[in-house]
Structure 1
Amino acid sequence: MMPGVGFEEMILLVVVAIIVVGPKDLPLMMRKFGRFTGKMRAMAFEFKQGIDELGRQAELDELRKEVANLKAHTGLDDIKRELEEDRAAIERDVNEVMKPIPAPVHPALAASTAAAAVTTEVKPEPLPYAGLSPDHPGYDTGDGYRIDGYHTEPTEQAPTGVQVVEDDDVEAQPAKQVAVEPVKQDTPA
């Protein structure tokens, strides 16, 4: 209800409205009065929101000024700059430490290893093929390949439907060298 208007005052207002306006036009007048009251409330609500928004903006501006003032007086920018410099120095040190270090070669160890080790070439094992010995000049398997005991090579006449591809870009690899150390044998006494 309206503030400051009690039940008796409300009844008095209704009786006066019925006498002045008449019972016929009273519903129409009440409808118009309700619309007018709704519009006034909406305008008051918008006005209140605008005032509240201005108050919040003023508070935010004041807080921003206080934060900027505190930053200037506490030296946070200087501390941040110093921390960034320290971080960069630590990162440089970590990168320096993480670099690979070549293994040191002890001269006595290198000399004893070289004297004790004997290098030999390792020959490839012959491919197992029934009835072919490693000294055989070559055997045509009938499927377009020739086996010479160590390699399988395509013959000139490849079977139909098979494409022979020769790769001249492959570089020859040197034979592997294996270090062999002398083994002490126990002799019977």
Structure 2
Amino acid sequence: MFDVGWSELLLIGVVALIVIGPEDLPRMFHTLGRMTAKARSMAREFNSAMEDAARQSGIKEATDDLKGMRNLTSKKALGLDALDRAVDKFEKWDPKLPTAKTVGMKPDPAAPGKTPVPPAAAPAAAAPGTGVAAAAPSAAVAPEPGEAAPGKRQLKAVRRSDLQG
């Protein structure tokens, strides 16, 4: 509170011993201790009285209600945190760069005017110490057009006019 160190306390004690004298010094410290204890008890009583007044006036319930309202209107509760993440992802997106989803995609063979292009094969690696290129791993068998690959769902586009009529 007063930020007094041990060296300052020692200096104050020596000055008090010289000024007050050795006979009156114990009575002065006793009186000073009682005054300090009385001041602390008054501070505790004041603090408890203020807490009681706040409790009786309903401030605690009001602050709890405000905290609840703050939680209801938070970004997470409203789903805005997901929107922020989506906006950040969209702002960082570059349409010219291929993504993991578009790397192995094949064009639709049924699309008019387009011919399917097989994905680029990985270059063959040389077998160690032989100087001969190793055979490329065999590619998975592609499903027939119109069939879904095993474990994959096939998406089908439907026009609104087809649904209504």
What's the TM-score once normalised by structure 2's chain length?
0.41
User: Quick one: higher RCO (CA 8 Å, sep 6+), 1 or 2?
Assistant: 1
Give 1 or 2 for the bigger CA radius of gyration.
1
